[in-house]
Amino acid sequence: MSALISAGAAIAAAMGVAATVGLLHNRRAGVLRHTHDPETPSTDTAGLGLSTTNPTIVHFTAVWCGPCAAVRRVIHQVCTDMPQVAHVEVDMDTNPAAARQLSVLSLPTTFIFDADRRQRYRSAGVPKAADLKAALVPLLT
């Protein structure tokens, strides 16, 4: 009987640890992180079709990616509210070189580039429209 109780306690402890790790991991999902360091040279983005007059949102996606549809809706909303912002969607399966070049390891991944084609923000997961807008407003002036 004590072996059964010990096994149950071990399973409960493992589930608690897994839940904690999952919560900590998901806390960062969709959060925009500032990435531009003026001392670091910009990544070559010539093949992405970035705007040279306004900021560009670059969204890496794939047909099989479920959360990518949610990102697409958020970006559509942002670009509707801010028509001067350009949007480029890159299919990771058809353009793996671009994904490697920007170190995209998971989907969905979203970037914001300024008009000088410098990477300013990066998000893994589904970003909030308000966060994208807040990041874009200073780049429009």
pLDDT higher at 94 or 35: 94
Is residue 90 a contact partner of residue 14, using CB atoms and an 8 Å limit?
Answer: no
Q: Is the pLDDT of residue 109 over 90?
A: yes
Query: Does residue 62 register a pLDDT over 80?
Result: yes
Give all domains of the chain, ordered by start, each with its CATH number: 31-140 (3.40.30.10)
Residues 6+ positions from 127 with CB-CB distance below 8 Å: 30, 31, 32, 71, 74, 110
Q: Quickly tell me which residue has 């966060």 as its tokens.
A: 131
pLDDT for 47: 82
Percentages helix, strand, coil for the chain (3-state, rounded to 5) are 45, 20, 40
Tell me the two tokens of residue 61. 């996606």
Instruction: Decide if pLDDT at 7 tops 70.
Output: yes
DSSP 72-116: HHHHHHHHHH-TTSEEEEEETTT-HHHHHHTT--SSSEEEEE-TT
The pLDDT value recorded for residue 32 is 75
Alpha carbon distance 136, 55 (integer Å): 7
Average pLDDT over the chain, rounded to an integer: 85
> pLDDT for 9-48, tens place per residue?
777 777 766 665 554 445 556 777 777 655 555 677 778 8
Is pTM beyond 0.95? Reply is: no
